[in-house]
Chain A
Amino acid sequence: GQQLNQSPQSMFIQEGEDVSMNCTSSSIFNTWLWYKQEPGEGPVLLIALYKAGELTSNGRLTAQFGITRKDSFLNISASIPSDVGIYFCAGLSNSGYALNFGKGTSLLVTP
């Protein structure tokens, strides 16, 4: 499958700080998704983006579908300890078969 480059690999921040992470691809995607995975659990969908340029919010989370359709970013505002986890971007290409995942951004939040 297509390779997604996710950065940063990890982040260690204090509670209340804002967080930004992004994902890039050499291929065009029709859909970008952001998932969060906590220890011992499967990934849980946070935000889905379906159109280039789309900006979508879900509480303190905001994500954008890049104009080129080759990138996306996720912002978390005013982080809290329960934001701890691994955040994955995933893209769905024209073939529409299955999601390609990035390697994840590990987020640690200290009180």
Chain B
Amino acid sequence: EAGVAQSPRYKIIEKRQSVAFWCNPISGHATLYWYQQILGQGPKLLIQFQNNGVVDDSQLPKDRFSAERLKGVDSTLKIQPAKLEDSAVYLCASRYSGLAGGLDFGPGTRLLVL
């Protein structure tokens, strides 16, 4: 079974620029998450999707961050415009709907904002 795929793996941009990250979850996983992991911290939830609907985006900075999962499969997370404090690893995770428990994480996208 293929794991959660993310791209790009690394991205360096200047502040005020825009950036987008892509995630392809495990086939059949209806629930998809985006987490932000700042260096030295645990992952922090940004947004959760159930199929193509948003379940929780209470911690997403909506003035600059947006995410979509139009067909209930792939997802894109965008930052526009980026700030220095957005430098972090952005992790995508998925799980099979209806089961509480472990999430399967992708390798993450490492973003550096200069």
Residue ranges of A at the interface with B (Cβ–Cβ < 8 Å): 1, 4, 6, 30-31, 33, 35, 40-45, 48, 50, 88, 90, 92, 96-104
Point out residues on B near A: beta carbons under 8 Å.
4, 33, 40-45, 48, 55-56, 59, 91, 93, 100-108
Residues on B with beta carbons closer than 8 Å to the beta carbon of A44: 105
Please, which residues of chain A bring their CB within 8 A of the CB of B91? 42-43
Known: A30-B100, A42-B93. Contact between A1 and B41, CB under 8 A? no
Q: Which of chain A's residues have a CB closer than 8 A to the CB of B59?
A: 1
Structural contact, A101 and B107, CB atoms closer than 8 A: no
In the complex, chain B residues whose CB is within 8 Å of the CB of A33: 101-102
User: Chain B: which residue is nearest A40 at the CB level?
Assistant: B107
Residues of B within 8 A of A97 (CB): 45, 48, 55-56
Known: A43-B105, A45-B102. A102 touches B42 (CB 8 A): yes
Would you call B40 and A98 a contact (CB within 8 A)? no
Q: Evaluate contact between B107 and A41: CB separation under 8 angstroms.
A: yes
23 contacts between A and B (CB under 8 A): A1-B44, A4-B42, A31-B101, A33-B101, A35-B105, A41-B107, A43-B43, A43-B91, A45-B103, A45-B104, A48-B101, A50-B101, A88-B42, A88-B43, A92-B100, A97-B56, A98-B45, A98-B48, A101-B43, A101-B44, A104-B40, A104-B41, A104-B42
CB of B45 within 8 A of CB of A99, answer yes
CA distance A1 to B52 in the complex (A): 23
- A102: B residues at CB distance < 8 A: 42
B100 proximity list for chain A (CB < 8 A): 30-31, 50, 92, 96
Q: A42-B4, A42-B106, A96-B100 are in contact. List 4 more A-B contacts (CB 8 A).
A: A35-B105, A40-B107, A41-B108, A43-B91
